Amino acid sequence: METAVVWFRDDLRLTDNPTLTAAIEAADEVVPVVVVDPRRRGDTRYGPPKLGSHRARFRLESVRDLRESIRARGGELFVREGEPATVVSELAEEVGASAVYAQTKPTTEERADTEAVRAALPDEITFHGHWTHTLYHPEDLPTPVEGIDDTFTPWRHEVEDDTPIRDPIDPPESIRTPELEPGDVPTLADLGLEEPPDDDRAVLAFEGGETAGKRRVEAYIWERDRLRTYKQTRNGLLGADYSSKFSPWLAAGCLSPRWIYREVRRYERERVANEDTYWLVFELLWRDFFQFQFAKHGGAFFTETGIRDVEKRWRRDRERFRRWADGETGVPFVDANMRELERTGYLSNRGRQNVASFLVDALEVDWRWGAAHFETHLVDYDVASNWGNWAYQAGVGNDSRDGHFDVLWQADRYDPDAEYVTTWLPALEGLPPEYAHRPWRLEADERTEYGLELGVDYPRPMIDVEARFEELDGG
Ligand SMILES: Cc1cc2nc3c(=O)[nH]c(=O)nc-3n(C[C@H](O)[C@H](O)[C@H](O)COP(=O)(O)OP(=O)(O)OC[C@H]3O[C@@H](n4cnc5c(N)ncnc54)[C@H](O)[C@@H]3O)c2cc1C
């Protein structure tokens, strides 16, 4: 009787889960386990905690959903608390397992955990690592990851030319597990966290789990038919459907990118294939790109000078950082985005680019502080996507150009009626859009007319932002 432990990590799903499928094929019985690791909710080295309540809630919901799905197939999902090396090796010995199966990821702490589990296993228990979170499998890449291009476009062309995307694997019909104490899925309170705020301005009520993730795909692609306009709407700021919002489910592995890809192809066959439908796949390629970049460069991504060794002068000014993080810069487009992030755990891609650029370009604050703040709050936090995009924005990562975002220009372009900023900053309601984006331009009598007192109802700008952008523009 062969038994295999399946250690679930960022792959909280049954559909297209090659790790689970391989274990079920090889063993008579499997022991699926989720390890709740206290180190994952400690503080980052830059201060903010690693795990905030939005993502924590999403993860716990995802684990509960996985447990339901495994139970519906006759098995059990075991939940244990501790460090993976101890928990997984002890569990494997307890059940007399011959093998441990687990997802592998390229980022530093995840790699260290993989190695620690592998090292903790006695010789007679084999470890099988499976790379399962990207569209392309690294073994299928035309150039091995160590040698891939650091620039997105040539890399994309190379893979798009002739790299196959493997078909997603169907979920197992039944899962046989031994009789063991299941263990409770912790509550947020058990993790020392409070319930996140429920704000009806949130783009979506993100609910964790494969079931909810598939529902979102069904709604976005099929019911609301939004894929046909994705590229045109993806720079939006308000509402559920300007972009797919698949990211939290992809990050926790509730959805597999290959399964999403198959849905896109089906949509293209059954409804329409156009630039917009392609563009969703294009964005998934960015996601892949960062994963493979981390496989190539490893820990260099987390250093101040990044993978390209770019020396820049960074300020380590706590007050500057705090005002940015709390959405109190006095620049409405930045503050609205920062408040949305804090209240909901989500931010549009346009918003992320703008607030990141404001921190690193306009305020010159250490980009890693910003990345750590996102790590706490994002419901879709993914190590490679987050730190890779931040490094890019800071000019120390891939493809980096020395450009910056002029957040005032961006606000006029993407929020012409100031609907977004007034949603998140109600104090600015009623102002003409130009002033809603630049309240410092109001004359004293206009401030009285609109009932806005700067420094009381809304902060004065922390820097002379118009002069700063002129300076950055070389003016
Ligand atoms: C500073 C910064 C930090 C970011 N941090 C994260 C993060 O921690 N986790 C994360 O998933 N994305 C991150 N992104 C990328 C992007 O903003 C989000 O993936 C996207 O906004 C999620 O919304 P969506 O699912 O509706 O995206 P869509 O526009 O619908 O895109 C579809 C999918 O493509 C992928 N994708 C899209 N853009 C990118 C990108 N630039 N890089 C990598 N993958 C992408 C995501 O998986 C996304 O779900 C970050 C971007 C910036 C500028």
Domain stops at, among 268, 283, 302: 302
User: Can you give the pLDDT at residue 400?
Assistant: 66
Provide CB contacts within 8 A for 90, sequence distance 6+: none
Q: Is 77 exposed, middle or buried (0-12, 13-18, 19+ CB in 10 A)?
A: buried
In a domain, 393, yes or no: yes
The enclosing domain of 371 has a CATH number of: 1.10.579.10
User: Can you give the pLDDT at residue 399?
Assistant: 80
Look over the chain and give the mean of its residue pLDDT values, rounded to a whole number: 97
pLDDT digits (tens, 9 = 90+) for 188-243: 999 999 999 999 999 999 999 999 999 999 999 999 999 999 999 999 999 999 99
Contact 102, 34 (CB under 8 A): no
Q: Are residues 296 and 148 in the same domain?
A: yes
Cβ of 132 less than 6 Å from ligand 1: no
Q: Are residues 218 and 320 in the same domain?
A: no
Domain stops at, among 83, 102, 132: 132
In a domain, 97, yes or no: yes
Q: Nearest CA to 392 among 50, 150, 109, 134?
A: 150
Cβ of 10 less than 6 Å from ligand 1: no
Name the residue range of residue 212's domain: 133-171+208-302
Q: Are residues 280 and 389 in the same domain?
A: no
Q: Nearest CA to 453 among 321, 336, 330, 320?
A: 330
In a domain, 180, yes or no: no
User: Can you give the pLDDT at residue 403?
Assistant: 81
Q: What is the DSSP letter of 43?
A: B
Would you say residue 29 has pLDDT above 80?
yes
Q: Are residues 160 and 271 in the same domain?
A: yes
Q: Are residues 286 and 233 in the same domain?
A: yes
Domain stops at, among 279, 302, 325: 302
pLDDT digits (tens, 9 = 90+) for 273-306: 999 999 999 999 999 999 999 999 999 999 999 9
Please give the C-alpha separations between residue 98 and each of 82, 84, 175, in angstroms, as whole numbers.
Answer: 22, 17, 17
Query: Phi and psi for 127 in degrees, rounded to 5?
Result: -110, 130
Would you say residue 381 has pLDDT above 80?
yes
Compute the distance from residue 466 Cα to the ligand 1 centre, in Å. 29
**Which residue shows structure tokens 């139970």?**
71
- In the chain, the percentage of residues whose pLDDT exceeds 70 is 99
Q: Are residues 250 and 280 in the same domain?
A: yes
Q: Are residues 145 and 275 in the same domain?
A: yes
In a domain, 150, yes or no: yes
Would you say residue 475 has pLDDT above 70?
no
**Count: domains in the chain:** 3
pLDDT digits (tens, 9 = 90+) for 50-87: 999 999 999 999 999 999 999 999 999 999 999 999 99
The residue type of 2 is E
Contact 404, 362 (CB under 8 A): yes
Q: Give the span between the Cα atoms of 262 and 15, in whole angstroms.
A: 12
Q: Are residues 316 and 440 in the same domain?
A: yes
Q: Are residues 323 and 444 in the same domain?
A: yes
Q: Nearest CA to 248 among 282, 200, 208?
A: 208
Closest residue to atom 16 of ligand 1, CA basis: 349
This prediction's pTM: 0.98
In a domain, 184, yes or no: no
Confidence of residue 43 (pLDDT cuts 50, 70, 90): confident
- In the chain, the percentage of residues whose pLDDT exceeds 90 is 96
- Mean pLDDT value of segment 385-406: 90
Q: Are residues 372 and 454 in the same domain?
A: yes
Q: Are residues 167 and 284 in the same domain?
A: yes
pLDDT digits (tens, 9 = 90+) for 236-273: 999 999 999 999 999 999 999 999 999 999 999 999 99
User: Can you give the pLDDT at residue 299?
Assistant: 95
The enclosing domain of 221 has a CATH number of: 1.25.40.80
Cβ of 247 less than 6 Å from ligand 1: yes
Would you say residue 47 has pLDDT above 90?
no
Compute the distance from residue 247 Cα to the ligand 1 centre, in Å. 6
Spell out the SS3 assignment of 181-209.
CCCCCCCCHHHCCCCCCCCCCCCCCCCCC
Cβ of 210 less than 6 Å from ligand 1: no
Helix, strand or coil for residue 395? Answer: coil
Contact 139, 29 (CB under 8 A): no
Q: Give the span between the Cα atoms of 167 and 402, in whole angstroms.
A: 39
Q: Are residues 127 and 138 in the same domain?
A: no
Confidence of residue 401 (pLDDT cuts 50, 70, 90): low
* Edge-to-edge order in the sheet of strand 78-81: 78-81, 29-36, 3-8, 99-103, 126-130
In a domain, 413, yes or no: yes
Q: Give the span between the Cα atoms of 347 and 386, in whole angstroms.
A: 12
Please give the C-alpha separations between residue 251 and each of 7, 105, 185, in angstroms, as whole numbers.
Answer: 17, 12, 20
Confidence of residue 435 (pLDDT cuts 50, 70, 90): very high
Confidence of residue 313 (pLDDT cuts 50, 70, 90): very high
In a domain, 182, yes or no: no
Helix/strand/coil percentages in the chain, nearest 5: 50, 5, 40
Cβ of 358 less than 6 Å from ligand 1: no
Compute the distance from residue 284 Cα to the ligand 1 centre, in Å. 9
- Mean pLDDT value of segment 355-384: 97
- Mean pLDDT value of segment 436-447: 97
Cβ of 220 less than 6 Å from ligand 1: no
In a domain, 193, yes or no: no
Nearest atom in ligand 1 to 390's CA? 1
**Which residue shows structure tokens 């820990």?**
299
Length of the chain: 475
Compute the distance from residue 455 Cα to the ligand 1 centre, in Å. 34
Nearest atom in ligand 1 to 355's CA? 1
Which range has highest mean pLDDT (27-36, 45-54, 401-410)? 27-36
